[in-house]
């Protein structure tokens, strides 16, 4: 199971989205609406954007083919899946293992409990976000981590039970 989280884009304005290049105001509006509700029907999307349905589907397909829209995903409530504990773990690799940063990141991304992996600059190499049943599963995940021999340290930074 992989949990995809799309946050941060919800606050984008048209001015912020100019960085996407040759998008016009209608494209920006379609992106904004789809960020708010990716399950919106084409008819509702077209109506909300003030364009014809045929124009809407053509533009959305164009946004997908140009890579502006990378995909459509569901935001899953981890607690509903029995994953009531969210944990952030700071991970530092051994000095000799730094050549394997991408291997470690890939291995962690393939773990079912991993929600996100962040590469950091500074004393820690990664911040790993887990969704787990309880704190025992966190300990088990750390001890069974891929490439464990490359770990210098892994410390739990924050854990919270979801209510």
User: Token pair for residue 111?
Assistant: 């773990």
pTM above 0.75, yes or no: no
Give the closest residue to 40 by CA, choosing from 50, 29, 48, 51: 48
Q: Which of 136, 75, 130, 88 is nearest to 108 (CA)?
A: 130
d(C-alpha 112, C-alpha 128), whole Å:
12
| Per-residue pLDDT in tens (0 to 9) along the chain, 163 residues | 333 333 344 444 444 444 556 899 999 999 999 999 999 999 999 999 999 999 999 999 999 999 999 998 888 888 898 888 888 888 888 777 667 788 888 888 888 888 889 988 888 888 888 888 887 887 766 655 555 444 555 554 445 544 3
Hey, what domains does the chain have and what are their CATH numbers?
Answer: 9-65 (1.10.10.10), 78-161 (3.30.70.920)
């Amino acid at each position: 199971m992989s949990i995809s989280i799309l946050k941060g884009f919800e606050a984008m304005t048209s001015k912020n989205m100019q960085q996407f290049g040759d998008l016009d105001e209608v494209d920006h509006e379609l992106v904004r609406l789809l960020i708010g509700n990716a399950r919106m029907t084409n008819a509702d999307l077209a109506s909300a954007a003030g364009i014809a349905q045929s124009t809407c589907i053509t533009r959305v397909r164009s946004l997908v083919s140009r890579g502006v829209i990378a995909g459509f995903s569901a935001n899953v409530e981890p607690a509903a899946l029995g994953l009531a504990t969210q944990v952030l773990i700071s991970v530092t690799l051994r000095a000799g293992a730094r050549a394997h940063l991408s291997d470690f990141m890939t291995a962690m991304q393939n773990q079912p409990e991993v929600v996100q992996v962040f590469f950091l600059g500074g004393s820690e190499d990664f911040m790993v976000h887990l969704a787990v049943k309880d704190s025992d599963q966190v300990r088990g995940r750390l001890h069974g981590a891929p490439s464990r021999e490359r770990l210098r340290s892994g410390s739990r930074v924050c854990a919270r039970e979801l209510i």
